[in-house]
Each structure stands twice: as structure tokens, then as C-alpha cells.
Amino acid sequence: MENLSEKLKNEFKKDIEPIAGQDNLMIIKLNKKSLIKKLSWEIKRYFDLLYCLTVVDYAPVFELNYVFSNYRNNDVLVIKVNIDQKDFNIDSISDIFDSANWEEREAYDLFGIKFDGHPDLRRILLPEDWPGHPMKKSFKVDDEIRNWTGLDMKF
């Protein structure tokens, strides 16, 4: 774990900054979202899986929390990446961590974030034709949603 953080510091220099974490939880902030793929390749040497991907809505900025873990011990690494609402996409890491596949689909489903290079970016929890992305703080239940039936017919 220490080796990894040293290595990341040398590799990325100013683009990452560590945030004081809690016990066994290391949090690193990545300043450039274009570097997420490069960073993931480095992390892949130490961590086995993307444990979970949490998107937090601080509109107009959305914060992505990538939680990595491995099967050998209890280490957890959190990578924070901010993306802007105007430029609402980020590189997919599902070709590096295969377990990211459905987590990214879920983030796309509930927040509308586009993951470039994802092999199968469809909605996963909600129906294909659902209007809007409900986990956004700006999501309002309006008549379109209230009267949504999932069928192409009028009652």
C-alpha cells in the first residue's frame, strides 16, 4: 500500500493529491479526469477489483468515487474524480477492471454520465425509455413521470 502511494506520487506528481483518510481507507483526488485510465493501469498492479462506484451530485460538479479493493487483505483505495456537468463524460475503465462494467452502467442509468469506450452502455435498473436520471438532485417528479406507463399506448 505504501509502495503504491509512493509510486503514484512519483508518476502523477501534481495531478493527484492525497486526502487524509480514516483507518485503512486511503483517499486520493485525481485532478485531471483524462488520466483515469492511466491511473487504473497503475492501480491494477495492486488491486483486483472495482469494489463500488459512487457518484455524488454537487451540481454543477459531479464527484465520482472509485473504490478499489483486493482479495488478499483489507486495503481499500478511493479515487475521487470531479467531472463537470457541461462535459459529462469520462473514460470507461471496464476494459481494465471488468467488475466496473455494471457499476458504470448503473452510474449512467441513475446519473446520465457517459462512459467513453464502454462495451454495452445501456440502462440497467430502469426501463430503456425512462425519462431522466433520478439520482440527480435536480430530478423532479413531473407529469411525464407520474403518467409513465412503459407502454406506447394511451389509456
Partner 1 sequence: MEHKERIRLNIGPVHPAMHGVLKLILDVEEDTIVKAQTELGFLHRSSEKIAESRFFSNYYPIMDKLDYVSALNMEILYASTVEKAANIEIPARAIYMRTIMAEIQRIMSHLIFIGSFGEDIGNITGFIWALRERELLMNVVEKISGGRLAPMYMCNGGMFYDFPEGIDNEILNVLSTIENKVSHEYSAMFTKNQIFISRTKGIGVLTKDMIKKYGITGPIARASGIQRDLRKVSPYLAYDKVEFDVPVADAGDTYSRFIVRTKEILESIKIIRQCLKDIPPGPYKTVVPWVMRIPKKDTFVKQESPRGEMGIFLVTDGSDKPYRLKLRSPTFFALRALEELLVNIRVADAFAIVASMDPVMGEVDR
Is 75 exposed, middle or buried, given 0-12, 13-18 or 19+ CB atoms closer than 10 A?
Answer: middle
**According to CB under 8 A, which one of 30, 39, 50, 83 is a site residue for partner 1?**
50
Binding mask 97-116 for partner 1 (x = CB under 8 A): xxx-xx-------x------
Cβ closest to partner 1, residue 31 vs residue 54? 54
Binding mask 69-98 for partner 1 (x = CB under 8 A): --x-xx-x-x------------------xx
- The answer to whether 95 and 117 have CB atoms below 8 angstroms apart is yes
Min dist CB 123 to partner 1, Å, is 8
- The answer to whether 71 and 99 have CB atoms below 8 angstroms apart is no
Q: Give the count of residues interacting with partner 1 (CB under 8 A).
A: 33
Taking contact as CB under 8 A, which single stretch among the options 2-10, 36-44, 121-129, 142-150 is the one that binds partner 1? 121-129
Q: Which residues pair with 58 in a beta bridge?
A: 61
4 binds partner 1 (CB under 8 A): no
- The answer to whether 115 and 88 have CB atoms below 8 angstroms apart is no
Cβ closest to partner 1, residue 61 vs residue 125? 125
Location of C-alpha cell 467531472: 83
3-state SS assignment for residue 115: strand
Min dist CB 145 to partner 1, Å, is 12
Kindly state the helix (H) or strand (E) to which residue 40 belongs, with its residue range.
Answer: helix 36-44
- Please list, in sequence order, all residues whose beta carbon lies within 8 angstroms of the beta carbon of residue 43, skipping any fewer than 6 positions away: 4, 68, 77, 79
Interaction site with partner 1 (CB under 8 A): 22, 24-25, 27, 48-52, 54-57, 65, 67, 71, 73-74, 76, 78, 97-99, 101-102, 110, 123-127, 134-135
